[in-house]
Chains A and B, each alone.
Chain A
Amino acid sequence: QVQLQESGPGLVKPSETLSLTCTVSGGSIRSYYWSWIRQPPGRGLEYIGYIYYSGSTNYNPSLKSRVTISVDTSKNQFSLKLSSVTTADTAVYYCARAPASGAFDYWGQGTLVTVSS
């Protein structure tokens, strides 16, 4: 059974960089698309971006200038960096898997990141 687990700081200061890692277990990171999705408290879901195991990426234009997603196939991990954060970036951040041309079939449990001084 594939499992995804987010990890990283739960508190980030304004203007700093948010960094999260998603560890994939129970399956290979190869041949799938790996995404980050966030959900502000009490609100809906927002797609941040994805990376293919080969390293190709796609980002939401609304966040593209601040987002970097990378992958480490040797560790079965992929990571998110979001720079210059503000309080508007406070959200639960999820990592998720999608097959090619597919929906998100596996999700991490989510991690709350609060942006506050």
Chain B
Amino acid sequence: EIVLTQSPGTVSLSPGERATLSCRASQSVSSSYLAWYQQKPGQAPRLLIYGASSRAPGIPDRFSGSGSGTDFTLTISRLEPEDFAVYYCQQYDSSPLTFGGGTKVEIK
């Protein structure tokens, strides 16, 4: 099973600042089958990034994904008020599909 470790657990930032979230895999995720989701309280997760770096339809370009192998990053270039939420990475390279523990982006 591929274990995904996200860091930091929580990050406190102000609107307009840049957020950099990390997702590290216990073994290589081939073909960059790595996705990022945003989840707000009481809502289902929303797909932001798939294939490590491709934005899902309708996702603003302030969200970007990068990385390969075992190290992946989600960057939010300039935080908007609606971006404060929990972010999860997920690998769909091998079974069982697994999620990271999440990073909470909170308002400073």
B99 at the interface (CB under 8 A from A): yes
A 19-61 to B, binary, CB cutoff 8 A, 1 in contact else 0: 0000000000000000100000000111100100000001111
User: What's the least CB distance linking B30 to chain A, in Å?
Assistant: 11
Query: Please, which residues of chain A bring their CB within 8 A of the CB of B43?
Result: 109
Closest to B31 in A: A101
Closest to B88 in A: A45
Instruction: Contacts A44-B88, A47-B96 given; indicate if A110 touches B35 (C-beta within 8 A).
Output: no
* Residue in A50, A58, A109 whose CB lies within 8 Å of B44: A109
Q: A46 contacts B99, CB within 8 Å?
A: yes
A47 to B99, CA, bound (A): 8
B3 at the interface (CB under 8 A from A): no
Query: Please, which residues of chain A bring their CB within 8 A of the CB of B44?
Result: 94, 107-110
Query: Please, which residues of chain B bring their CB within 8 A of the CB of A47?
Result: 96-99
Per DSSP, chain B at the interface is: loop
Q: How large is the interface on A (under 10, 10 to 19, 20 to 34, 35 or more residues)?
A: 20 to 34
Closest to B37 in A: A104
A85 at the interface (CB under 8 A from B): no
Q: How large is the interface on B (under 10, 10 to 19, 20 to 34, 35 or more residues)?
A: 20 to 34
Closest to A104 in B: B47
Query: Please, which residues of chain A bring their CB within 8 A of the CB of B90?
Result: 45, 103-104
Query: Please, which residues of chain B bring their CB within 8 A of the CB of A110?
Result: 44
A98 to B100, CA, bound (A): 18
Closest to B1 in A: A61
Find residues 49-75 in chain B having any chain A CB closer than 8 Å to their own CB. 50-51, 56
Query: Please, which residues of chain B bring their CB within 8 A of the CB of A103?
Result: 35, 47, 50-51, 56, 90, 92
Counting chain A CB atoms within 10 Å of each CB, the highest count among B33, B45, B46 belongs to B45
Query: Please, which residues of chain A bring their CB within 8 A of the CB of B88?
Result: 44-45
A63 to B3, CA, bound (A): 17
Q: A45 contacts B95, CB within 8 Å?
A: no
On B, residues with C-beta under 8 Å from A are 1, 31, 33, 35, 37, 43-47, 50-51, 56, 88, 90, 92, 95-102
The 3 tightest CB contacts between A and B, nearest first, are A103-B35, A107-B44, A103-B50
